[in-house]
């Protein structure tokens, strides 16, 4: 039965509630960031790309980790170990074990999403190779870290450090954190190298770089995490002394996803188009512009397109007038702008055809 007077959210002997509140807040912020990213990209380009699906995977892993941390809190995180039952302590270690596995996979998916985005925005082969090399390193490093974390203690109770033979977990997480710092630094510096080559205004370059440089917040979170991991190296009260480590891990994974979503916001995409994406590439992708206007209009005016094709077929295939007309850019869009004329054509095709023949003869006279 729940206590009707739960008391303060945080006490000197129980820091679990604050961990729980911050975890759920970060989870909500992460979900909102991903929703904003997907909505913005879909509104602009009408499609999602592989980096978006990687962020979806990272979000799912983040939610799983958040739930694991919440269960870990309810089973003793932030409380003194002597106050816990054997059952609670066993559940605490299982939740901690699950949270750590999801943490590694989460960061791997997020880093690969950022690298994939960098690959798609640069035409320079050297930059693409750099991003692919960094991605290969992240995959190998994450896979190895996942194996070590999964078998940190002897089987079958690999999650249980008490009464079991285990690796030096503090050393492992310290080495992981250092490599995490290195890879995050690369995700900050690589966009700077790419942006430096963009032929665009200095302001646009600054916007693009600052969007990626927001991952400096992740670097700060990793440093804090490393500090708390090493502070609890020789602890004899793990459930109480490691609550800041648990909280910092949740913060790092949330910041990693949130900052990966920032480059997909509208100001970044507009600056990117003016400096790197060519208009013909946008047309080739069916976007027609940074706001997706072309693709929206073309899909909206499909009936106008069919009318335009009927009108085109009335030109002679060998006439110079027809060839000139075919070379006009966005011909179907030009025709579809005059919607009142389209309606008149639909209602009176005979009259419309006569006007087209008359117009053709005028070109022939010239």
What are the tens digits of pLDDT across the range 155-176? 899 999 988 899 999 999 999 9
Q: Is the pLDDT of residue 308 over 50?
A: no
How far is residue 129's CA from residue 316's CA, in Å, rounded to a whole number? 50
Place 307 in a pLDDT band, splitting at 50, 70 and 90: very low
How far is residue 141's CA from residue 57's CA, in Å, rounded to a whole number? 18
Weakest-pLDDT range from 65-74, 101-110, 205-214: 205-214
Is residue 121 within 8 A of residue 194, CB to CB? The reply is yes
Percent of the chain's residues with pLDDT above 70: 70
Weakest-pLDDT range from 24-38, 93-107, 210-224, 347-361: 347-361
According to the model, what pLDDT value does residue 208 have? 79
**125-150 and 169-196 are packed helices; what angle lies between their axes, rounded to 10 degrees?**
170
Place 89 in a pLDDT band, splitting at 50, 70 and 90: very high
Q: How far apart are the first and last CA of the chain?
A: 93
| More confident site: 233 or 143 | 143
Report phi then psi at 11, rounded to 5.
Answer: -130, 165
Q: Is 155 left (phi over 0), alpha (psi -120 to 50) or beta?
A: beta
According to the model, what pLDDT value does residue 224 have? 96
How far is residue 233's CA from residue 237's CA, in Å, rounded to a whole number? 11
What mean pLDDT is predicted for residues 8-33? Answer: 90
Q: What's the whole-model pTM score?
A: 0.72
According to the model, what pLDDT value does residue 42 have? 81
According to the model, what pLDDT value does residue 10 have? 77
According to the model, what pLDDT value does residue 206 have? 81
Query: What pLDDT digit, counting tens, does each position of 131-151 carry?
Result: 999 999 999 999 999 999 999
According to the model, what pLDDT value does residue 267 have? 54
Place 290 in a pLDDT band, splitting at 50, 70 and 90: very low
Highest averaged pLDDT of the listed ranges 6-15, 39-48, 206-215, 219-228 = 219-228
Tell me the two tokens of residue 300. 């909206």
What mean pLDDT is predicted for residues 326-347? Answer: 42
**CB neighbourhood size of 358 (10 A):** 9
How far is residue 318's CA from residue 119's CA, in Å, rounded to a whole number? 44
How far is residue 20's CA from residue 28's CA, in Å, rounded to a whole number? 13
Please tell me the number of Cα atoms within 13 Å of 327 on its side-chain side: 5
Please tell me the number of Cα atoms within 13 Å of 24 on its side-chain side: 8
**CA-wise closest residue to 88 among 16, 9, 18:** 16
Q: Is the pLDDT of residue 351 over 60?
A: no
Weakest-pLDDT range from 20-24, 295-299, 323-327: 295-299
According to the model, what pLDDT value does residue 325 have? 40
How far is residue 89's CA from residue 322's CA, in Å, rounded to a whole number? 81
**CA-wise closest residue to 102 among 62, 154, 158, 140:** 62
How far is residue 122's CA from residue 119's CA, in Å, rounded to a whole number? 6
- Where would I find the H helices in the chain? 16-45, 50-74, 86-121, 125-150, 169-196, 202-213, 216-231, 238-241, 243-261, 266-275, 279-284, 293-300, 302-312, 320-326, 331-337, 339-347, 349-365
| More confident site: 152 or 346 | 152
Tell me the two tokens of residue 272. 């990117």
| DSSP string for residues in 89-143 | HHHHHHHHHHHHHHHHHHHHHHHHHHHHHHHHH---HHHHHHHHHHHHHHHHHHH
Taking all residues of the chain, what is their mean pLDDT, rounded to a whole number?
77
Burial class from Cβ neighbours inside 10 Å (0-12, 13-18, 19+) for residue 97 reads buried
According to the model, what pLDDT value does residue 199 have? 72
């Amino acid at each position: 039965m729940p206590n009707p007077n739960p008391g303060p959210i945080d006490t000197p002997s129980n820091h679990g509630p604050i961990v729980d509140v911050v975890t759920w807040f970060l989870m909500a912020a992460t979900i909102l960031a991903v929703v904003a990213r997907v909505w913005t990209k879909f509104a602009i380009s009408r499609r999602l790309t592989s980096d978006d699906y990687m962020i979806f995977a990272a979000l799912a892993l983040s939610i799983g980790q958040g739930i694991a941390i919440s269960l870990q809190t309810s089973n003793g995180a932030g409380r003194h170990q002597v106050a816990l039952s054997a059952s609670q302590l066993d559940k605490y270690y299982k939740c901690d074990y699950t949270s750590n596995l999801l943490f590694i996979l989460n960061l791997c998916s997020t880093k690969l999403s950022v690298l994939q985005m960098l690959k798609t925005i640069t035409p320079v082969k050297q930059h693409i190779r750099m991003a692919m090399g960094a991605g290969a390193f992240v995959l190998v490093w994450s896979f190895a870290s996942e194996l070590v974390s999964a078998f940190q203690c002897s089987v079958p109770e690999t999650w249980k450090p008490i009464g079991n033979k285990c690796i030096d977990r503090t050393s492992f997480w310290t080495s992981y954190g250092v490599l995490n710092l290195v890879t995050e630094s690369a995700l900050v510096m690589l966009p700077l190298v790419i942006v430096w080559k963009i032929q665009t205004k200095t302001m646009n370059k600054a916007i693009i770089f600052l969007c990626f440089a927001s991952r400096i917040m992740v670097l700060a979170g990793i440093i804090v995490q490393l500090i708390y991991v090493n502070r609890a190296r020789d602890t004899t009260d793990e459930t109480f002394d490691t609550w800041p480590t648990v909280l910092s891990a949740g913060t790092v994974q949330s910041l990693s996803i949130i900052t990966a979503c920032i480059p997909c916001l509208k100001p970044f995409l507009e600056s990117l188009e003016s400096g790197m994406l060519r208009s013909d590439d946008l047309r080739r992708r069916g976007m027609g512009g940074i706001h997706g206007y072309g693709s929206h209009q073309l899909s909206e005016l499909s009936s106008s397109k069919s009318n335009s094709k009927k009108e085109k077929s009335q030109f002679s295939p060998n006439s110079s007038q027809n060839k000139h007309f075919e070379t006009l850019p966005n011909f179907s869009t030009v025709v579809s702008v005059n919607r009142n004329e389209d309606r008149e054509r639909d209602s009176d095709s005979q009259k419309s055809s006569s006007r087209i023949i008359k117009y053709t003869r005028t070109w022939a006279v010239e």
